[in-house]
Structure 1
Amino acid sequence: MKETINSYEDLLVMLDALLREPTNFWDDFYSNREKGIPFFANKPDENLVGYFENVLTGTSGKALELGCGPGRNAIYFAEKGYAVDAVDLSGQSLQWAIERAEERNLKVNFIRKNIFDLQIEEGSYDVVYDSGCFHHIAPHRRMSYINLVRKALKPGGYFAITCFVQGGELGGADITDWEVYRLRSLQGGLGFTEDRLRTIFKDFEEIEIRKMKEVDQTNELFGVSALWTALFKI
């Protein structure tokens, strides 16, 4: 690879190389399915279930999940009658997701790809969902992320996200965007405040920003209060 910057895309790729965890990091992360990571449980996010009860009631359509991991939320969308494209870097996580979908006889289009390499038709999706991907997005890719979401959504479509609370017990580095590059690290995932999320997604119509409800592990839903949940409309 030529280490010459001739374009904005070249600059993004260079900064990616400084910060991004390699694909084999995530494959290793998902290789041990028994290591007790809370979101490994095959349960949908409590906020996502709430959206179907209060906002998406009776809807169907097409959903895109960014950073789907082992597929628990993509599977829930499919159960609700949505056509689902679910994207992740890790082959290990997608193999697990495929097995889960097959166990329930559900069809989900799982895609192994960096989300910034997706080729999607403008206005293709009714819902874009992200549970835990955004806090691993470096600041220099934030505008690319927002542009991807805007391009993906149909007019009137919904965008929902869960991400680390700043300084939360599961992670959520309390560092500035500039410090990311001084440290050359996202410190395991960036943390956010309500105001910061509101500022980042100011061009979307805010429906709700709140902390995820804590849900007992015996429940059929996933919920930990160390995450923000937010729902927006385009």
Structure 2
Amino acid sequence: MSKQAQSSKLVNKVYNAAYRVGFSPWDLGPPMPELVDLIEGDDALTPGRALDLGCGAGTKSVYLAQHGWRVTGVDIAPEAIKQARQKATDGAVQVEFVVADLLTDLDGVVTGPYDFLLDFGCAHSFRDEAKAVYARNIATLAAPGATLYLYAFTKGPLSVRPAEIDSDFGPHWELVSAVPGSKRGIPDAGPTWYRMTRRA
């Protein structure tokens, strides 16, 4: 088994167990102001097809569906997807939820193209060359000119640093902006919203 496959298997087990016992501090409740502004603000994106990467329990998938998007949520943890489906039912919205490993070939598992890809803390869980694999894989699902909105820490072991945006995402995605997140903790892990556009 490859190092990458071993890592994915471990992530699956850890996240599945966490959701099963109700420990998911990364599911932070209502969408952050930056996402709300992108979806509802004066210069909001036009609703189309959206892909919620590492969707967890589906809070943001449901939010997008409630604002006119046709949404697919993807997560590696079956327990998270189970909770997400219930959340969509409770919210009276239609969302397609898929159990998938975003580091593997997604052909036939998730079908693009998508106009908007949301990554709220997914990419910063990957290590080393896995970030480049992830950036390439999700690019295959994006329409030309699609928006990727990626929230990540920039300090510490869970991070996506600006240099990694250039090296790992740059071949497929053009950086539009990098804005510090409005909600910060102690210690400050440097949360940042990276907005990118799929290269043609």
TM over 0.5: yes
- Residue 113 and residue 202 in structure 1: after superposition, are their counterparts in 2 closer, same or farther (change >3 A)? closer
Equivalent residue number for residue 205 of structure 1? 174
- Give matches, 1:21-170, under 5 Å: 21-33=10-22, 35=23, 37=25, 39-52=26-39, 53-57=41-45, 59-115=46-102, 116-119=104-107, 124-167=113-156
Instruction: For 1:118, give the aligned amino acid.
Output: L
Which ranges of 4 or more aligned residues in structure 1 deviate by more than 4 Å? 120-123
Instruction: For 1:50, give the aligned amino acid.
Output: D
Please state if 1:16 is matched with 2:4: yes
| Contact 1:70-1:94 within 8 A present in 2 as well | yes
Query: What do you get for the CA RMSD once the two structures are aligned?
Result: 2.5
Instruction: For 2:121, give the aligned amino acid.
Output: G
The CA deviation at 1:195 is 4.0
Instruction: For 2:151, give the aligned amino acid.
Output: T
- Residue 101 and residue 18 in structure 1: after superposition, are their counterparts in 2 closer, same or farther (change >3 A)? closer
Q: TM-score, normalised by structure 2?
A: 0.83
The CA deviation at 1:81 is 0.8
The CA deviation at 1:225 is 6.8
Name the count of aligned residue pairs: 191
The CA deviation at 1:67 is 0.6
| Contact 2:76-2:100 within 8 A present in 1 as well | yes
Structure 1 residue runs of 5 or longer lacking an equivalent are 1-12, 168-172, 174-189, 217-223
Q: Which moved more, 1:118-127 or 1:60-69?
A: 118-127
1:82-101 CA distance string (max 9 Å, x none)? 11111111111112111211
| Contact 2:62-2:88 within 8 A present in 1 as well | yes
Q: Which moved more, 1:43-52 or 1:73-82?
A: 43-52
- Residue 16 and residue 161 in structure 1: after superposition, are their counterparts in 2 closer, same or farther (change >3 A)? same
